[in-house]
Amino acid sequence: MLGEGIIKGMVETARNFVGSYSDPERLTTVEYPEDKIPAKENARNFPFLVYDGDDAARGLRCVACQICEKECPPKCIYIVKSKDKKPDYIGKPQFYPAVFDIDVSVCMSCQICVEVCPFEAIKMDTEFELSNPDRFGGLLQDKHRLAKSNEYYHKIHETEAAEVDARLAAEKAKAEAKARADAEAKAAAAAKAATAAATPKPAPNPTTVAPAK
Amino acid sequence: MPLHYYLIFSALLFAVGLAGALTRRNAILVLVGIELMLNAANLNFIAFWRYSPDPNAIQGILFVIFSIAIAAAEAAVGLALIISIYRHYKTTNLEKMDSLKG
Amino acid sequence: MQAAFAIIAALTLVSAIAAMSLRNLVHCALCLAVAFAGLAAMYLQLDAQFVGFAQVLVYIGAVAILVVFAILLTRSGQPVPHSVVSRSWIAGVAIAVLVFCVLTRVILSSSVSQRSLPAKPSPTVREIGNQLMTWYVLPLQVIGLLLTAATIGAVIIAMNERKSAGGDHRVTADQGHGHGHLAAPTGLNEGNATSIASETGSESPAHYPQPEREREVLAK
Amino acid sequence: MIIGEFFRGLFLMIWRVATDQPEAKADLLAVFPPSARPVISAVLTVSPIIGIFATLFALTTLLERKGLGRIQNRLGPNRVGPFGILQPVADGLKMLTKEDIIPRSADALVHFLAPVVLAVPTILAFAVLPYGRNLVPVDMDAGILFFFAVGASTELAIFMAGWSSRNKYSLLGAMRAIAQMISYEIPLIISSVSVIMIAGSLSPVEIIAQQGRYLAGGFVPHWFVLTPWGLAGFIMFLIASLAESNRSPFDIPEAESELIAGHLTEYSGFKYALFFMAEYFGMFAVSGLAVTLFLGGWHAPFEFLEIVPSYVWFFAKLMGLVCLFIWVRGTVPRLRVDQLLNFAWKFMLPLSLLNLVVAAVWHFTAAWEFPGAGLGRWLLGAVMIGVPYVWLGRALSGSKKITQRTYRFAD
């Protein structure tokens, strides 16, 4: 009342004024291009493709299943499936994307592609400096620019990447176990077949053949 | 420069104001015309004061000061009246304010 | 001296004629302000500083603004379909010309008008103040009273809308209909003729809805 | 020969200005033929004023942006030049290279004239301020009246800008600006009338001369701000001048959140720069008047400091007031229109009228002779203005119950 609030406010702003010179901690802003606030772990901006190992062309997890292309709400993903196959991280032969393009200018950072990907192949990046002088070519990111290593993924989303790696390792272990079991079964069946061939019993047993398929 | 320059100029201004006040339909412009006439009269006062043989007699100036004050009051009241009239008749056209014309 | 007089006089006269003859009322008001400024310059040329400044302060700073406000509040800024001068305009101009002729005749025949410029007087503001406070103190008081009365009167005249926001107003509006005047719905015209003071004093619900009123003021 | 005389005159002029001597221009003018002297004299007077205030304008925009930044715990502009000191240059270049847009339905002539009509009176107002001991552009008998007269004529320019743009925001902004300027002109003038009354003169030079004495052995200046009516008048003058120069918290004519930019909405490029400049020039002019009326003009605060050139004190006080304006802008939120006008008519006007009475009492108690008369006089004045201030403040704010806000049209 009677103007004391104004004086109180003036004192407060004066404190800010002096304080911002004496105590740099008070400054709420950083000088952007030189200083950056480190990105939060859960920050997300734009998808990238994860690859394992050193070779982006070989280690790409994407199998060109095109689920993300279908699910993408603004339809910014464009995939062409390869004709041939190459082994994936488990070693199973899979298709790979011959073309994988994402248009930055269309993407709305919704993360749905990440949600739907069954292969943990597409993840969200924290990189936000995507501006480019070339409106068309520069904003359309192709497979090579999108591919980023698993180490990078670990760097930006530590917790999430660890979970993903654990899951993949489990899957891989399961697949290997299964493969081993299959191989063993196959070997057993082969042995059996060998013994069966040795003994004259021509009628094949469907239960032993089926797993070897 | 002789005095009659100012006097004739003031007479011209007075005539312009008078013509406006007599011919315009809009009440506001009639008031403006009256203001112009008052101003012309003020100019006469100042001119007569300036050309008077006794420059220390400042009646002319004082009269103009009073006249300006009165003109301001007149403008305020006059325009308030016009606004009030506008509220009743929805027009400031003087030719349409003819309720008393029988 | 003569050149300055000629320039100022021409400017003042042209803008005075423009103020009295232009179709757009806001232009008229602006020309009026120029005419007032020209007169102030003429006072300065006649060594009447105080009056010149008072002229600027009162006429340009207050009267011209008042005229502008009145024009906008009465929506006179809109172009009118009919002629802006009255039917008997020839008579009006004739009377004005006649008055001018008579005045000129009188001025030219008078011996006073041939008087030449005396030495420059030195009317200090102090002198004016002394005179106002001694010999002219009664007129000063009367002027003060007049100004107070005028202020109160102007406020009351422009404010009576507020008191009779209900039925009274409707009746007057209907009378307007009866005489074949602008038949606008009452609610719409509610607030557009309010003064500056009520423009901003928004306690009364009678002046809502505000956006509508603003649109009307704006509809030039 | 002539050239030598010219440079001698120029040097003498600068030397005399720098050392507070009178007749600075005399030797330089003697070089020119008598018929050209008035024009040359005018140019010599006007060009430094415009140059200095244009520089101050650039400085103040920078100061304002840096200061506001610091008040909000930001850095402020710091990219252009070292510490951002070239920011005004960049701003100016940006303004001047922008396209000059005139709306199609605008009244082109009035739209063009408005910034010119605004800029001329604001620069004219500098004519009567005494910048130093012998630095008065025009020593006018009715200087203060001249100042207020040219100040009043800026209102019409703002109306021209608002009306000619054919934009509802422009018109509303202009109408708000005019209503505000008319309302606050009254307390502004009345609070300076108390000074005029005590000084007995409308001349700024005379008013400053009356404040040139020192009390208590040269340590207490005889400034009007140190009297009860002067202090109250100074505060009211400052508040009213904030409103006159359309500065926060009274910047509702250009309230961005409601009116885009008020009457400036349809202006761009050089015309906008003119408006911007006029606004700051108006602020300088009214601060200069406040310095003249209340803060002793170019007089030093202590007697022994009078050896410092007088214009230094004037500009130091001026910039002090400008900094205060910036500080207030960084602190106080914007008012609503009805609050603004209620404050002017219900609070400022009665108090400034009362302040006149206090000044009159001060004037007539000057003859008091008994011991402690000075203090008693001071206390009497302080009580006379302080008690009504408290009473009026309580009466006006006491009736307001702060309750949950209701929205009439929001839903």
> What is the spatial distance between Cα D313 and Cα D72, in angstroms, rounded to a whole number?
30
Q: How many residues does chain B have?
A: 102
| Residue C205 and residue C144 in one domain | yes
Q: Are D239 and D389 in contact, with CB atoms under 8 Å apart? A: no
Q: Is residue D148 part of a domain?
A: yes
Residue after which a domain boundary falls, among D13, D33, D48? D48
C44 contacts in B (CB within 8 Å)? none
Using CA of residue B64, residue B66, residue B68, residue B70, what is the dihedral sign?
Answer: negative
Residue of chain D whose alpha carbon sits nearest to that of A2: D393
Q: Are D181 and D155 in contact, with CB atoms under 8 Å apart? A: yes
To the nearest whole angstrom, how far is the Cα of A139 from the nearest Cα of chain D? 28
| Residue C210 and residue C150 in one domain | yes
C45 contacts in B (CB within 8 Å)? none
Task: List the single best residue of D66, D68, D72, D238 to mutate versus A (max A Cβ within 10 A).
Answer: D72
Write out the residue range of the structural domain in which residue A63 sits: 46-165
| Residue C176 and residue C107 in one domain | no
**Per the structure block, which two tokens stand in for A129?**
């400096």
CB contact under 8 A, A26 and D73: yes
Q: Is residue D59 part of a domain?
A: no
CB contact under 8 A, D155 and C61: yes
Instruction: Please give the model's pTM, rounded to 2 decimal places.
Output: 0.78
Closest CA to A11 of C46, D130, D377, D331: D331
Q: Is residue A5 part of a domain?
A: no
D163 contacts in C (CB within 8 Å)? 26, 68, 72, 220
| Residue C91 and residue C197 in one domain | no
- Residue A95 Ramachandran class (φ > 0 left, ψ -120 to 50 alpha, else beta): beta
User: Nearest Cβ partner of D74 from A10, A12, A29?
Assistant: A29
Our count of domains for chain A comes to 1
To the nearest whole angstrom, how far is the Cα of B47 from the nearest Cα of chain C? 7
Q: Is residue B72 part of a domain?
A: yes
Closest CA to D358 of D233, D187, D210: D233
What's the pLDDT score for residue C214? 39
Q: What are the pLDDT digits (tens) for A147-184?
A: 888 888 888 888 888 888 888 888 888 888 888 888 88
CB contact under 8 A, C112 and B3: yes
Write out the residue range of the structural domain in which residue C144 sits: 126-219
CB contact under 8 A, D145 and C125: yes
CB contact under 8 A, C114 and B2: yes
D78 contacts in A (CB within 8 Å)? 31
What's the pLDDT score for residue C15? 92
CA atoms within 13 A on the CB side of D297: 25
D149 contacts in C (CB within 8 Å)? 53-54, 56-57, 60-61
CATH number, domain at A125?
3.30.70.3270
> What is the spatial distance between Cα D164 and Cα D105, in angstroms, rounded to a whole number?
9
Output D274 or C118, whichever has higher pLDDT: D274
Number of Cβ pairs < 8 A linking chain B and chain C? 279
Q: What is the DSSP letter of D332?
A: S
| Residue D105 and residue D43 in one domain | no
Least confident range from D45-54, D115-124, D299-308: namely D299-308
Q: What are the pLDDT digits (tens) for D107-150?
A: 888 888 889 888 888 888 898 888 888 888 888 888 898 999 88
Residue of chain C whose alpha carbon sits nearest to that of B86: C74
| Residue C133 and residue C116 in one domain | no
CATH number, domain at C26?
1.20.120.1200
CB contact under 8 A, D340 and C54: no
Q: Is the pLDDT of residue C138 over 80?
A: yes
Q: Is residue A174 part of a domain?
A: no
Q: What are the pLDDT digits (tens) for A81-138?
A: 888 887 776 677 888 888 888 888 888 888 898 889 888 888 888 888 888 888 887 8
D145 contacts in C (CB within 8 Å)? 50, 53-54, 57, 125
**Angle A94-A100-A101 (CA atoms, 0-180°, nearest 5)?**
170
Maximum CA pair distance of chain A? 114
Closest CA to C55 of D129, B10, B14, D150: D150
Q: Is residue D134 part of a domain?
A: yes
Give phi and psi for A84, each to the nearest 5.
Answer: -95, 180
B84 contacts in C (CB within 8 Å)? 157-158, 160, 193
Q: Is the pLDDT of residue D276 over 60?
A: yes
CB contact under 8 A, A31 and D331: no
Asked if C32 has any chain D CB less than 8 Å from its own CB, the reply is: no
Q: Is the pLDDT of residue C197 over 70?
A: no
Q: Is residue A110 part of a domain?
A: yes
**Per the structure block, which two tokens stand in for D47?**
């060009």
Q: Is residue D60 part of a domain?
A: no
Asked if C4 has any chain B CB less than 8 Å from its own CB, the reply is: no
CA atoms within 13 A on the CB side of C126: 8
**Angle D288-D292-D294 (CA atoms, 0-180°, nearest 5)?**
115
Question: Residues of D numbered 331-390 whose beta carbons fall under 8 angstroms of chain A's beta carbons: which are they?
Answer: 331-332, 389-390
Expressed in angstroms, the distance from the first to the final Cα of chain C is 42
Instruction: Determine which helix (DSSP H) or strand (DSSP E) holds D214, and give its type and residue range.
Output: strand D214-215
To the nearest whole angstrom, how far is the Cα of D184 from the nearest Cα of chain C? 13
To the nearest whole angstrom, how far is the Cα of D306 from the nearest Cα of chain C? 30
Strand residues in A82-146 grouped as ranges (E)? 86-87, 93-94, 97-103, 122-125, 140-141
Q: Are C192 and C73 in contact, with CB atoms under 8 Å apart? A: yes
What's the pLDDT score for residue C192? 38
C31 contacts in B (CB within 8 Å)? none
Write out the residue range of the structural domain in which residue D26 sits: 2-48
Do chains B and C have 3 or more beta-carbon pairs under 8 angstroms?
Answer: yes
For A48-79, letters b (16+ CB in 10 Å) and e give bbbbbeeebeebbbbbbbbbbbeebeeebbbb
Q: Is residue B56 part of a domain?
A: yes
Q: Are D243 and D176 in contact, with CB atoms under 8 Å apart? A: no
To the nearest whole angstrom, how far is the Cα of C108 from the nearest Cα of chain D? 35
Instruction: Determine which helix (DSSP H) or strand (DSSP E) holds D221, and give its type and residue range.
Output: strand D220-221
Q: Is the pLDDT of residue B83 over 80?
A: yes
Q: Are B83 and C73 in contact, with CB atoms under 8 Å apart? A: yes
Task: List the single best residue of B14, B22, B48, B63 to mutate versus C (max C Cβ within 10 A).
Answer: B22
- Residue A167 Ramachandran class (φ > 0 left, ψ -120 to 50 alpha, else beta): alpha
Q: What are the pLDDT digits (tens) for D232-269?
A: 899 999 999 988 888 878 888 777 777 888 888 888 88
Q: Is residue B41 part of a domain?
A: yes
Q: Is the pLDDT of residue C195 over 80?
A: no
Q: Is residue A35 part of a domain?
A: no
> What is the spatial distance between Cα D295 and Cα D316, in angstroms, rounded to a whole number?
11
For C124-143, letters b (16+ CB in 10 Å) and e give bbebbbebbeeebeebbeeb
Q: Is residue B4 part of a domain?
A: no
Output D405 or A175, whichever has higher pLDDT: A175
**Count of Cβ atoms closer than 10 Å to residue C68 Cβ:** 27
| Residue C50 and residue C12 in one domain | yes
| Residue D256 and residue D189 in one domain | yes
Instruction: Determine which helix (DSSP H) or strand (DSSP E) holds D220, and give its type and residue range.
Output: strand D220-221
Residue after which a domain boundary falls, among C99, C123, C147? C123
Task: List the single best residue of C7, C100, C122, C126 to mutate versus B (max B Cβ within 10 A).
Answer: C100
Give residues with Cβ within 8 angstroms of A36, minimum separation 6.
A30
Output C35 or D20, whichever has higher pLDDT: C35
| Mean pLDDT, residues C160-164 | 54
CB contact under 8 A, C113 and B18: no
Q: What are the pLDDT digits (tens) for A14-62?
A: 888 888 888 888 888 888 888 888 888 888 888 888 888 777 777 788 8
Q: What is the DSSP letter of A141?
A: E
Mean of the per-residue pLDDT values for chain D? Answer: 85
Q: Is residue D40 part of a domain?
A: yes
Residue after which a domain boundary falls, among D48, D63, D84? D48
Task: List the single best residue of D64, D331, D394 to mutate versus A (max A Cβ within 10 A).
Answer: D331
User: Nearest Cβ partner of C118 from B20, B28, B53?
Assistant: B53
Asked if C70 has any chain B CB less than 8 Å from its own CB, the reply is: yes
| Residue C156 and residue C181 in one domain | yes
Q: Is residue A158 part of a domain?
A: yes
Q: Is residue D194 part of a domain?
A: yes
For C172-207, letters b (16+ CB in 10 Å) and e give ebeebeeeebeeeeeeebbbbbbbbbbbbbeeeebb
Strand residues in chain A grouped as ranges (E)? 46-51, 77-81, 86-87, 93-94, 97-103, 122-125, 140-141, 147-149
CB contact under 8 A, C220 and D175: no
Write out the residue range of the structural domain in which residue B43 sits: 27-95
What's the pLDDT score for residue D321? 92
Give alpha helix (H) positions in C56-209.
Answer: 64-73, 89-109, 125-133, 137-163, 167-178, 186-189, 196-200
How many Å separate Cα D121 from the centre of its chain?
Answer: 13
User: Nearest Cβ partner of D73 from A1, A10, A16?
Assistant: A16
To the nearest whole angstrom, how far is the Cα of C89 from the nearest Cα of chain D? 29
| Residue D377 and residue D255 in one domain | yes
Reported as a pLDDT band with limits 50, 70 and 90, residue D22 is: confident
What's the pLDDT score for residue C217? 40
For D14-52, the DSSP string reads HHHHHTT-S-TTHHHHHHS-GGGHHHHHHHHHHHHHHHH
Reported as a pLDDT band with limits 50, 70 and 90, residue C179 is: very low
Our count of domains for chain B comes to 1
To the nearest whole angstrom, how far is the Cα of B37 from the nearest Cα of chain C? 10
Q: Is residue D31 part of a domain?
A: yes
> What is the spatial distance between Cα D35 and Cα A113, in angstroms, rounded to a whole number?
85
C25 contacts in D (CB within 8 Å)? none
Rg of chain C in Å (alpha carbons): 23
β-strand partners of A102: A77, A141
Residue after which a domain boundary falls, among C82, C97, C123? C123
Give residues with Cβ within 8 angstroms of D87, minimum separation 6.
D61, D62, D65, D77, D79, D80, D81
**Pairing outcome for strands A122-125 and A86-87:** unpaired
Our count of domains for chain D comes to 2
Q: Is residue D72 part of a domain?
A: no
Cα dist from D138 to A185, D21, D123, D144, D292, whole Å: 112, 17, 13, 12, 15
Query: DSSP 3-state assignment of A23?
Result: coil
Give residues with Cβ within 8 angstroms of C20, minimum separation 6.
B16, B17, B19, B20, B24, B29, B32, B33, B36, C28
**Per the structure block, which two tokens stand in for D315?**
């500009």
**Per the structure block, which two tokens stand in for A120?**
């943990």
Output A212 or D296, whichever has higher pLDDT: D296
Rg of chain D in Å (alpha carbons): 23
